[in-house]
Each structure stands twice: as C-alpha cells, then as structure tokens.
Amino acid sequence: MFLDLLRRRNPALIDAAITLHQRGELPANTFAIDLDAVTANARAIAQAAAPLGLTPLAMTKQMGRNPDFCRAVMSGGIEASVAVDMADARATVRAGMQLGHVGHLVQVPRAEAATAAGMNPHNWTVFTDEKAHEAAAAAAALGRQQALLARIHADGDEFYSGHEGGFAADDILAVADRLDALDGAFFAGITTFPALLFDRETRTVRPTRNLATLEAAAKRLADAGRTGVRINGPGTTSAAALPALAAAGVTQIEPGHALTGTTPWHAEEYLPEAPAVCYVSEVSHRYGGRAYCFGGGMYVDPVIPPYQVRAVVGRQPGATAVLPATLPPPSAIDYYGQLDLSDGTPVAVGDTVVFGFRAQVFVTRAYTAGITGLASGRPRVAGIYAADGSATAWPA
C-alpha cells in the first residue's frame, strides 16, 4: 500500500535507501526518513493551519522520536510536540522541541508528575480529578500554573480498544470549575481522540461522534461565559482536513502520520504531504523457495486492514524487482520477514529490501535514520538512532 505510494511520489527515497545500505552506511532494520520531505510536509500543515487559527503540535512517536526528524519538523514551522508518554516527552524536549501537550493518550504516572511539570508543558490532559490534583501539585511546587485539558466522552463516542477514559461530557461545567479551583492549575480546554477517522467504505476521512461531543461541550462552556477555551481535536490529520476541523471549533491539531504522508487517506488520495519514510532490510538467507530478510521493525499499524505486503529488492538505484512478502504475525517476534521467490526473481544474500509501512517505530526495536540530500542526488545519513530516540553505537 505505502510502497506503491512511495514508488509514485518519492522514488528517490527508495533509491537512496538502497545506495546507502549497499555502501554500509545504513543498517538493516532501519526506518529511513526523508528529512527534506518531512520539513515540506510540516510547512504545508503549518501554513494551512495559521489562517484558520489552529495550533499544530507534532506527534513524533511514529518515527521513534528521532531527533533529526524533530528538528526537520521544527524547520517546517511546528515547534512543539505532543508526547504520547513520558519517554516521548523526554525525547522531544531533548531534541529541542517545546512540550506542547502531555498526558494524552497516556496519562502521566504519579511518580513522574514532577518531571512533567518541570518540562513546562503548554497543555496537560487529565482523565480524572485524581490526575488533575497530581498535575496541579507538581506545578505548584515549581511556582507554576498548569493549563489542564479535560479528556471528555459521551455515549456513542468511538475509541480504540484501551484508549477509553475521561470525564463525562455532560459534567464539563462542573469539571471546569473543579480544575479552576486547584492550586497550581486551571481549566484550559477539552480534548478527545479520534476527532476524525478514515472511512474504509468512502475512502476518505469522516468526523467521529467524538468531534460532535467536543462541539457540544464547547458550546456549553461558551454559553456559561467561558472564553478562549482550547479545543484539541487529533486524528487522521492532513492539511486537507484542517478547514473541517476549524469549522467544528477545533483550535489545536496534532499531525503525526501526516508528517510522513502515511495516514490511510494518503494511500487513497493525492494530499499535500508526500510519503517520507521507508523500512530498510537485507536478505539474510534463502530457504524453501523464500528469501528471509532481517526484521525488528515489522510492526504494521493495525489501523490499516490486512493487505498483500510487497518489497523492492535489489542492489542498485532504480531496482524494479517487487516481491510479495509475508511478515510475522503480531503474536510472534519478527526476527525475519519472508519474500516469495516463486516467480523466479533472482535474489542474493546481501540484497537490499525496501518496504513501505505505516509505522509505529516506538513499539519496535528498529533503528531510525534521517536522510538528507535526496533532491541533489547526494543522499547522506544525518544520524542513526534507536527506536526510543536515543543515540546508538552503530557502527561499532
């Protein structure tokens, strides 16, 4: 799916991945990121957001919090991150980003509240009064007043399994009053996830019931005299979706996969953001009519329905061999992927293998590597990092 998108819109990244891998500059089990494309994608989103009054916050977990990726996003005009968890917060702050949002989707653990407060987050989402008290106490200890977002929900809202939680939307006025009464914090706004979802039948994005819940809660707050309420509406973000979000009253957006052109919508339509990432592997050995390639990052985001995965295989730029691939199921450790050789395509040990995935690098053991110089034809590896954004010792 995303391999086809790469071959159409960014074949230079595939060629660069092959060249750099064959030179020994890019290891197997690496997500190669076109940093110039990331900057262009971030700029497209930031420029579309500005006249609509939308504040973009970058989600970086998909690219393993790679610091070069973070800096490429900042170069495109998005200077603050949304941290899915505290590891994300640490990595993005270390990379030089402002911490725009913490606590959503994953609440801040009690013992890490002080650390989170010390990062001066612009927004801190809480699901419960207990978590609000923890955030407020941590901010008060530093002499700060923390802006809190209340995660809300109502009947009919859609959540991915395990993402549920928050305050009842019908109680938002009382919730806002309780948060305002805290020493060290104040009520700043509301949030949900997802506000938009890709619809497989219509092959476009649609507003969720959650977005209607945000709109209704925002109206109740406005009718009660509250102004300047922040409305955080993440989910399947692209520059093309921003007018609809702004029309619904959203004030904050959180592009993640849009920064690498890998939302499901990007696979269906020509959107402003170009594909900017591929997964690089290497043929390890052959057995039983199959070529085995190194794994470690073969986690395909399950938001995409099952499809026939394919890979480009070769040693020279412009490689045209595209083979069906079988990846280990999520229940297995992805030591290897397998390439089907039944059509007689010659494949040798050491050949480069390039996949196109909708990635979630932070849950893998893959490397990430930013690539520059694609437009000039002189690709260069900016740096190689572990899946948590930390520096590696590769090559040893």
- Structural domain that includes position 157: 79-254
- Tell me, what's the pLDDT at 1? 80
Residues 324, 246, single domain; the answer is no
Q: What is the pTM of this model?
A: 0.96
Residues 85, 20, single domain; the answer is no
The reply to whether 105 falls in a domain is yes
pLDDT class for 341, splitting at 50, 70, 90?
A: very high
- Tell me, what's the pLDDT at 375? 83
- Tell me, what's the pLDDT at 300? 86
Over 70: is that where the pLDDT of 153 sits?
yes
Over 90: is that where the pLDDT of 396 sits?
no
Residues 167, 246, single domain; the answer is yes
Residue type at 295 in one-letter notation: G
Residues 318, 366, single domain; the answer is yes
pLDDT, tens digit, 9 for 90 and up, residues 227-242: 999 999 999 999 999 9
Domain CATH number, residue 186: 3.20.20.10
Over 90: is that where the pLDDT of 304 sits?
no
- Tell me, what's the pLDDT at 107? 98
Contact 214, 196 (CB under 8 A): no
- Tell me, what's the pLDDT at 301? 81
- Average pLDDT over the chain reads 95
Is residue 187 within a helix (H) or strand (E), and if so which, with residue range? strand 185-191
Shortest CA distance to 224 belongs to which of 175, 184, 272?
Answer: 175
Over 70: is that where the pLDDT of 220 sits?
yes
Residues 291, 368, single domain; the answer is yes
Over 80: is that where the pLDDT of 316 sits?
yes
For residue 391, how many C-alpha atoms fall within 13 Å in the half-sphere facing its CB? 7
Residues 219, 283, single domain; the answer is no
Residues 226, 289, single domain; the answer is no
| Beta pairing class for 167-168 and 146-153 | parallel
Share of the chain above pLDDT 90, in %: 90
Please count the structural domains in the chain.
2
Over 80: is that where the pLDDT of 164 sits?
yes
The whole-angstrom distance between residue 252's C-alpha and the CA centroid of its chain comes to: 16
- Tell me, what's the pLDDT at 376? 87
Residues 208, 131, single domain; the answer is yes
